[in-house]
Amino acid sequence: MQQIVRQLAAEIRVREQQVCAAVDLLDGGATVPFIARYRKEATGGLDDVQLRELQARLSYLRELQERRATVLRSIDAQGKLSDALRAAIAAAPTKQELEDIYLPFKQKRRTKGQMAREFGIEPLADKLFADPGLDPAQEAAAFTRPPEVLDDGKPGVDFSTVPAVLDGVRDILSERWAEDAVLVQSLREWLWAEGSLRSTKIDGKNENDPDVSRFRDYFEYAEPLGRVPSHRALAVFRGRALEILDAKLALPVEPEPGKPGIAEGRIAQHLGWSHAGRPADDLIRKCVSWTWRVKLSLSTERDLFARLREEAEKVAIKVFADNLRDLLLAAPAGPRVVLGLDPGIRTGVKVAVVDATGKLLETATVYPHEPRRDWEGALHQLAKLAEKHGVNLVAIGNGTASRETDKLAAELIQIAARAGRAIEKVVVSEAGASVYSASEYASEEMPGVDVSLRGAASIARRLQDPLAELVKIDPKSIGVGQYQHDVNQSELARTLGMVVEDCVNSVGVDLNTASVPLLSRVSGLSASVARELVRWREAHGAFKNRRQLMDVAGLGAKTFEQSAGFLRIRGGENPLDMTAVHPETYPVVEQIMAKTGRPVAEIMGRADMLQTLQPELFANEKFGVLTVKDILAELEKPGRDPRPGFKVARLNDGVQDIGDLREGMVLEGTVSNVAQFGAFVDLGVHQDGLVHVSQLAHRFVHDAREVVKTGDIVQVKVMEVDVARKRIGLSMKLDAAPPRQGGARENRFEGAARGHQPSARRAPEPVQQSAMASAFAKLQQSKNR
């Protein structure tokens, strides 16, 4: 364990004592949010990012240690464990390198090389490789034996001829070299740096088939393996899985027919052998060639493709996690009465009104669009609902008929304005709303309400508090990721689960209004305890103080310690219960009260007074200066919400469809998705536009997240529009000029915007394409709708 601690300290660049403390707390059942917020003295102030990294690496290194012990036991049982081998196993830094070392000792099916060794041919193989001046045929004659006859009378292995014996030499040497860990690792790293990923269309596939054509840009594609971006790697792997593309590892220099290739040359160099025209050199060259072609080429390709996929998945999962975090921490509209509209055409627009607490008040369905076209009737019904319940905010889902429904809401706002009432409207992402509507929890929350109407209520609530509503949905269904169905699902779920946990605990949860899904994301609370909390609340009324948590079935001292600081009680008996101050530190607040001579209610919010206090005066052995500083900061802004203030994007009148867009238009929109190469912006025209990374700012931007995040409201200029392919190119550099049409420049879009199946991206071609157009390719097949 000490070795693991040292390695973690070096990787995270912190002291070993900090790592030891964090490991002890994690092993003791503490959660990352709790450790990061309330155990800063113990860990020396490790933040949640460092703790998450430590947690993940700790798990990996422990698994590596367990595997290392298993390998040592296995080799020792075979009587082949030398000191040098033990040292090599102990020094293996990764699971891959450990398995490379273990490969020669693994129990495996009987190979041709093993058969040759069993027949006593190995001394001949060693002799010929050591002295290539010997004549292979003459030396092999002494090793010929009559054919083997099996117990059932069938013929077995035959080494009765010189060619058969020399084939045995080839099998022994090639198998030995293919299990040389140093050679295998060097070939792998060389090809990662110098090889290429190459894909072609499988013969017989119809290019005009829509399922095939979306991979058009990968029909003839090649790119250096170690530099293939995540989205292109996953696109190729998806095409291969669908049996549309053939993907292979391409060598830096392809071998000429009948001549040894560059890979064979590196193997020979590793062995210290070169062809010098000696009698056995042709045989050894054959063995070297066999080692690469038969033993190593496919396995190396498999290993490198696995590495490429793993690294691509890490990037894709990180993009999803970053976007999810931004979406969950988006600005809440707060306690306002909201009219939720779930747009539809034939089936009508589903309507739901929720009060300031999110309680469903009334539902309806209106039919302003085809085929009924009851615009006036729909408007009248919405106006009645708005007047009856005091609606001051309209949430419109961004699905089919969203822009038409937005126009309906605009007329509703005009009617309200004439009556002296102010109503605002916001287009809201409805991703995952249908998943929630059909869920068991939705049926418990809104019994007797039609599934389609539950979606409208969810749209309204996610405007009030995105975090509280979105936690009810499987994070994978929220729809802000790339290739989410292609990546490791367990790792995706684990990562997204951590994001949700961190977001919920950074904001805090109102104990008296939170749902079971929201409570179950609080540090230390399981789903079963969350249900017990709600049952207690329903049976006894609102919690008056945090001490009452101990009255809940299944909630013991440990769970209280982990969760209490993240649970808020507004209007309770103790004002501290609405803050992030943990109950265990209330005595510190009492010292502050004694020092100031004022009750806690008069201290809270008094920054002028609190900033004059010296934290050192209130620190003790259990709660140090770091904790006291956090307490003072919390008292300055009690119950502060880390999320930004609520703003509404103003969509341009007269812009309802992609066909209404013109180059040079300046519009306001909401960032709906962010990838490294750019940001997608919802302009309210049914199709997101792309701001390529080169168009985000008047400076070099490596990653779009340096400038924008999901949920941001931004001003953009329309640079390119392809109505036929539904592609919109945007710029946040408002003084940028739209590109000229025609000429040598090909003004087209290669891929697709978020939410649609895009075509793949071709490797660099002689034709120069606009950065805006080619960048659309970088979100290929972002979702399996």
Residues 499-534: tens digit of each pLDDT:
999 999 999 999 999 999 999 999 999 999 999 999
- Judge if 240 and 127 occupy the same domain: yes
User: Could you tell me the CATH number of the domain that includes residue 752?
Assistant: 2.40.50.140
Q: Are residues 162 and 239 in the same domain?
A: yes
Q: Give burial (CB, 10 Å; 0-12/13-18/19+) of 683.
A: buried
Residues 676 and 716 in one domain: yes
In this prediction, residue 407 carries a pLDDT of: 87
Choose the final residue of a domain: 61, 87, 105. Answer: 105
Query: Has residue 191 been placed in a domain?
Result: yes
d(CA 62, CA 647): 47
Is the per-residue pLDDT at 87 higher than 90? Answer: yes
Among 625, 320, 352, 254, which residue's Cα sits nearest to residue 500?
A: 320
What CATH number does residue 283 fall under?
1.10.3500.10
In a domain, 121, yes or no: yes
Per-residue pLDDT at 99? 92
Residues 260, 274 contacting (CB under 8 angstroms): no
- Supply the CATH number for residue 99's domain: 1.10.10.650
User: 217 with 293, same domain?
Assistant: yes
Q: Is the pLDDT of residue 397 over 80?
A: yes
86 and 133 assigned to the same domain? no
Claim to verify: residue 254 and residue 309 sit in the same structural domain? yes
In a domain, 684, yes or no: yes
- Rounded to an integer, the average pLDDT of 253-280 is 88
**How far from 782 is each of 316, 485, 753, CA to CA, in Å?**
10, 9, 9
The count of other CB atoms within 10 Å of the CB of residue 190 is 16
CB 232 within 8 A of CB 307: no
The domain total for the chain is 3
Residue 591 lies in a domain: no
Element containing residue 209 per DSSP (H, E):
none
Work out the end-to-end distance of the chain between its first and last CA atoms, rounded to an integer number of angstroms: 46
Q: Are residues 8 and 139 in the same domain?
A: no
- Band of the pLDDT at 740, cuts 50, 70, 90? low
pLDDT band at 756 (very low <50, low <70, confident <90, very high): very low
Largest CA-CA distance found in the chain, in angstroms, rounded: 109
- Residues 151 and 178 reside in one and the same domain: yes
Per the CB < 8 A criterion, the answer to whether 33 and 499 are in contact is no
Distance of CA 522 to the CA centre of its chain: 21
Confidence grade of residue 148 (pLDDT, cut at 50, 70, 90): confident
C-alpha to C-alpha distance for 233 and 309, rounded to whole angstroms: 7
The winner for highest mean pLDDT among 137-151, 450-464, 741-755 is 450-464
Q: Give me 9's structure tokens.
A: 């300290």
Tokens 């008094």, residue located = 606
Q: Are residues 600 and 572 in contact, defined by beta-carbon separation less than 8 angstroms?
A: no
Mean of pLDDT values over 348-376: 94
Instruction: Note whether 726 and 683 are within 8 A (CB).
Output: no
Domain that holds residue 714: 658-779
- 522 within domain boundaries: no
Q: Is the distance from CB of 175 to CB of 97 less than 8 angstroms? A: no
Segment 560-577 mean pLDDT:
94
Tell whether the model's pLDDT for residue 295 goes beyond 90. yes
Q: Are 268 and 134 members of one domain?
A: yes
* Boundary residue ending a domain (256, 283, 315): 315
Asked if residue 641 belongs to a domain, the reply is: no
Q: Are residues 29 and 56 in the same domain?
A: yes
Is residue 120 domain-shared with residue 100, that is, in the same domain? no
Predicted confidence at residue 764, as pLDDT, reads 35
Residue type, 114: Q
Check pLDDT > 80 for residue 684: no
Secondary structure class of 74 (helix, strand, coil): helix
The phi and psi torsions of 635 (rounded to 5 degrees) equal -65, -30
The pLDDT value recorded for residue 683 is: 83
Whole-number pLDDT of residue 76: 93
Distance CA 372, CA 351 (A): 17
Could you report the per-residue pLDDT of 645-654, keeping only the tens digit for each?
A: 887 767 666 7
197 and 122 in one domain? Answer: yes
> Does any domain span residue 124?
yes
519-528, 546-555, 708-717: the lowest-pLDDT one? 708-717
| Residue 85, domain member (yes or no) | yes
Q: Which of residues 296, 315, 334 is at a domain's end?
A: 315
